[in-house]
Structure 1
């Protein structure tokens, strides 16, 4: 990296000077780079991350008396790295050179300071003193901003101080912020968990139906949607290319004949719904497409009083010829495909593919949006001595992607270890590859008939992807209600919108806490845990495996804390591991209090062999897992976690509580009730199972102990 500096001793850069080094941008995109004097600096052309949002740095929003200083500092920031010695003072809170997206938020923090200072009558950046910055931060904290938000603002202002004093003349310099000497913690609100560990998992009641419908789109509906969409696109393109000569002299007669034929057969007049279906408008493009005429000619015919009245009295869809072949419970999922509605279905299919890929890989959103066609090639061999070959996904990582000098690589870097794809993910990728061209981004931003200025090499933004998922949920819920399937609707998540950053955390939650919670994917959740342990996201333990650790530890800590409290109220424990379990509950409660917020805490709990307690709800027991005692892994190396689907009654790790005994008796009662309504052979089996459960519950009551009897 060049060590040259940009010292502005006399004048600011010429207005036509590119904001960033043109050599850092592909040749085809260099004309998009903003110039220093531009009133707005779009950030997307300056980043090679395809999912960076199309946001602008708008300099007119910065008060005039501070504008030149901050514009010059921003120009330096985009071109120059800070010395390592200055960055080191911030204890990993600052990088030598921010990413384009981080630079955008950094300048926003500068603008906020400038606006505050301008309102107080401060005349220039050098007039903002340390006491002013203290007051500014105090007022922001009083506004109730989160700790991480305030921290980011302070680091941004530190960066403004460094760039201005290192590279700008005195009239553009910011004084040293007080937190550089006092320490940043003194200026921050109370601590709170941040990052992915603080992100709420999507409720199981929401993610279950959402994933089910996403898989339906990918596996069942995709062929129908893509076939209908292709038909619509062909009609569009042919109509847009048609000339008056192509339409011929009898175009109006053909349009009239087409509509009259529909009317004579009792069919509705094709109409296009607007405003949620409450208003019908003329579908001139569709009518011109199916009659081989021009849009203008179709519009003229549809405005004639007879057809205006007919459309108002009996409006109907603009049917394509593609039939619906997929079914739900034996019934076609659609009566047909409307010329104008297929665009929305096509977007819903893309959203469904995103859900499947993002949720079932654990990729970060930017990593999903940077995937390209061909990222998941067919394995060279389908079999080997080690078993079936796995599908691998090659892609980019953006978090912590930096060069040897610590400069952020906006284009990301190739992932060292490919992701491993389970079958639903492979199918979703194949669907997207049918939509885009070879080598193109799977989630390309521009649609086939977009009217916007082409923006090649850009994917959907995070905001657009999240919005599309919300639209998919809305469609599903309307469909479920209209088709008499209300039980299949997607309930709202208690924490708000699903968002795309929550899928990764939700996958970790399900793997750690409810691997069998979604029956259709129970085996695959188990596969995902195995894949993770084999290096599925191995980036120096900076992948989804950390989230799984945290979720696993959280569940264990919560369970043991609740158990410790119940034991205090005379809850009884039985089984070979009863005494170990009572001790584990007391120690875990004393050490963690049922709360895990960091990965370090999670590993501390998981590395303590006495605290690894898992629940098997189907077998009505707890497993105080000790590898050397486990019977669930016969004939192979002891695993880090138990195989709860292979619990053995004689295992020394088993324990039961009074709560389990109550549930066993309740389940026995349900089995006996079922036995009274089925044929004798099945009734005998149900009664036998009920008797066994009752005996086990009674055995627990006979053997139960608690902290009083063990003291």
Structure 2
């Protein structure tokens, strides 16, 4: 048993919490975080004190989901997960990407798997974590593996179970959880068989062109043409509702109410109506604002004259007294804006502005969610009197780490601001009119008018809410287009499923950049290119001579990459098939790459070569030693390239990499090389011969895998 002295000497051991202990210790809470902290005794633990990203969903742990006999022990381990740091000695065994502490979302993934294990143990009659021995680990791992999860997912899940053992050791009162057997035996035997489906490629599908076209047209139409009308209607609706809320019952107000409604009832005229949760009712706020009557006075009159049934028989819109200036196809888009639709139109306007920003900048959704009023100030005039560019300054969150290498939920200001084109600036200006100064542009408190207050109204609208609003926007647009006979402007259903915020960035990269001349099109359409940071310069050793050498290398590398793309085009045009996780991306890269018919290189080509190589993910590198083409994407590479590198470490090419591409020519070369190795094996001593034969067998197996997974270029485009 660990002694108290040992605990004091070990900075990683956590104290034993009491029922009144905070769930999140103060050292992990940023000063600006105002979320309430739970107590250890609570049945629900909030992880909100760890979440500073305004667009992130707030996470809670519900202890009812953990079996009661295992709950006390599991609470200690989860508390250690929330407040502990994994030891550096353990992290060194897990690679460069391992962190001492994870994000709240990563913690959620871990404790959910731990709860799942606890429920399984409970079903087996096990009520103590110490009784989860090697046999239980093996049985549960086999059951979890056979549920159909992928090899990559299984490896991640089993890593979470290792963390259950690791974090238990950080407690001053450990439960004695045993180390999972894969930590000593290796994980490979516990994982599902590799079937070629796991790779590091971005699986997010871009939006279909027939969807994106009309969607963007309508979003821009809202921002450019309808915004003034909608904002004026929203202000007028708010004013009328404030008037209605402040009404005081008087004999005069009752008289005015009767003079307003009774003539309509007696004459058979339509009555002012509003939809509430899908049903028609008398528009009480509208009537109250125009008569000064209270809701109680209106309700008595409704019951006395059976007005509700009359409203269903002859409803009338409640036009707001605001001008309509926007047009569709040269005609006013509305005769008037009704009182009951102002809220819906306001929400559609906010959604449209979000679509314009996320697509026409290429920002990640969480970056758009973090935008605040004032993020895109009007530029100062330049020295020559021309207007400067609009720059958007926002936070980014991906791979943002603190000084200890741990995830920083609050993110950090993006070093290079986005350059905003005119439609984006207009969309930002519209959102700035919808929220107070310095507020989040997509503030949940100001956009979700149906559910004000509550924890989900803090920060920005969540991505799931924005995704639902996009679908609602599509529904509204299609209903409007059908009513106006604009059938060519309908937004069809996307073949790959629901439209979501994350698909716009992928669409920018795919539907534009993949076409010949796509980079120039991006520069024109989006007003900015992805800024290429020269890591050699930022590393502080870019002297003139050094830079000159790198310029020469960039030119030669770019020419070689262009030749590789040309050969790839020629092979596929001749009917060769393609395999590999990056096959589709390679087709895109080959379509964009220029063909150099000679070696006459002007002095201006060096910068072009550097820019060409900086197109992460769409530059092809031939690797004849590995019998493949590398469609180099830095984040996918298993060759561990240096930060900022634009080319692979070809001598460290690793099988299973998500950048791999092969053609039928490579398969023939693999078999030819295998035959050569077999000839060498025939003349080599026994042990060496066996190694050579095994190598030849691996090459033939790789060629066979290519044959079994090939696709034509037509299938990939």
Aligned to 2:185: 182
CA separation in 2, counterparts of 1:493 and 1:630?
45
The number of equivalent residue pairs is 581
- Show the 5 A alignment for 1:386-425: 389-425=388-424
Aligned partner of 1:47 among 43, 46, 51: 51
Aligned to 2:105: 101
Deviation at 1:431, TM superposition (A): 0.9
Deviation at 1:360, TM superposition (A): 1.7
Contact 1:43 1:101 in 2 (8 A): no
- Show the 5 A alignment for 1:665-704: none
Deviation at 1:147, TM superposition (A): 3.5
CA separation in 2, counterparts of 1:228 and 1:306?
30
CA separation in 1, counterparts of 2:202 and 2:439?
33
Aligned to 1:198: 203
1:133-177 deviation digits (Å, cap 9, x = unpaired) = 23222222222123443233222222211110232434x232112
Contact 1:87 1:96 in 2 (8 A): yes
Deviation at 1:14, TM superposition (A): 1.4
Contact 2:358 2:368 in 1 (8 A): yes
CA separation in 2, counterparts of 1:538 and 1:76?
41
Distance change >3 Å, CA 23–CA 492, structure 1 → 2? same
Deviation at 1:192, TM superposition (A): 3.8
- Show the 5 A alignment for 1:613-692: 613-614=591-592, 624-625=595-596
TM-score (norm 2): 0.73
Contact 1:393 1:419 in 2 (8 A): yes
Aligned to 1:116: 120
Deviation at 1:539, TM superposition (A): 14
CA separation in 1, counterparts of 2:536 and 2:414?
10
Contact 2:273 2:311 in 1 (8 A): yes
- Show the 5 A alignment for 1:115-194: 115-170=119-174, 172-189=175-192, 190=194, 192-193=197-198
CA separation in 1, counterparts of 2:417 and 2:452?
35
- SS of equivalent to 1:400: coil
- SS of equivalent to 2:419: strand
Contact 2:356 2:423 in 1 (8 A): yes
Aligned partner of 2:574 among 541, 550, 567: 567
1:426-476 deviation digits (Å, cap 9, x = unpaired) = 111111111111111111111375554355751111111111111111111
Unaligned runs of 5+ in 1: 542-553, 569-585, 616-622, 643-711
Do structure 1's residue 596 and structure 2's residue 582 form an aligned pair?
A: yes
Aligned to 1:672: none
Contact 1:356 1:424 in 2 (8 A): yes
- SS of equivalent to 1:501: helix
Distance change >3 Å, CA 131–CA 52, structure 1 → 2? same
- Show the 5 A alignment for 1:243-642: 243-244=248-249, 248-260=250-262, 268-274=270-276, 276=278, 279-305=279-305, 307-382=307-382, 384=384, 389-447=388-446, 449=449, 451-455=451-455, 457-514=458-515, 526=524, 528=526, 531-534=529-532, 564-568=571-575, 593=579, 596=582, 612-614=590-592, 624-625=595-596
Q: Mean alpha-carbon deviation: is it higher for 141-150 or for 26-35?
A: 26-35
Deviation at 1:208, TM superposition (A): 1.7
Deviation at 1:293, TM superposition (A): 2.0
Contact 1:229 1:346 in 2 (8 A): yes
CA separation in 2, counterparts of 1:556 and 1:283?
70
TM-score (norm 1): 0.73
CA separation in 2, counterparts of 1:180 and 1:59?
29
Deviation at 1:59, TM superposition (A): 0.6
- SS of equivalent to 1:460: coil
Contact 1:93 1:155 in 2 (8 A): no
- SS of equivalent to 2:61: strand
CA separation in 2, counterparts of 1:110 and 1:558?
48
Q: Mean alpha-carbon deviation: is it higher for 488-497 or for 137-146?
A: 137-146
CA separation in 2, counterparts of 1:196 and 1:334?
46
1:106-135 deviation digits (Å, cap 9, x = unpaired) = 111111111122112222111112332232
Contact 2:420 2:527 in 1 (8 A): no
- SS of equivalent to 1:311: helix
1:215-269 deviation digits (Å, cap 9, x = unpaired) = 111111111111111111111123223333xxx3222221222235656898521
Aligned to 1:709: none
- Show the 5 A alignment for 1:55-70: 55-70=59-74
Distance change >3 Å, CA 480–CA 187, structure 1 → 2? farther
1:367-420 deviation digits (Å, cap 9, x = unpaired) = 1111111111111225659x7522211111111111111222111112122122
Deviation at 1:567, TM superposition (A): 2.3
CA separation in 1, counterparts of 2:49 and 2:562?
44
Contact 2:240 2:285 in 1 (8 A): no
1:506-532 deviation digits (Å, cap 9, x = unpaired) = 111123124899xxx995554548621
CA separation in 2, counterparts of 1:320 and 1:194?
56
CA separation in 1, counterparts of 2:341 and 2:112?
40
Contact 2:168 2:177 in 1 (8 A): yes
- SS of equivalent to 1:532: coil
Aligned partner of 2:222 among 217, 220, 228: 217
Distance change >3 Å, CA 465–CA 268, structure 1 → 2? same
Deviation at 1:74, TM superposition (A): 1.7
CA RMSD after TM alignment? 3.8
Distance change >3 Å, CA 407–CA 593, structure 1 → 2? closer
Contact 1:319 1:339 in 2 (8 A): yes
Deviation at 1:280, TM superposition (A): 1.8
1:648-683 deviation digits (Å, cap 9, x = unpaired) = xxxxxxxxxxxxxxxxxxxxxxxxxxxxxxxxxxxx
CA separation in 1, counterparts of 2:85 and 2:121?
27
Distance change >3 Å, CA 34–CA 267, structure 1 → 2? same
Contact 1:77 1:163 in 2 (8 A): yes
Contact 2:237 2:339 in 1 (8 A): yes
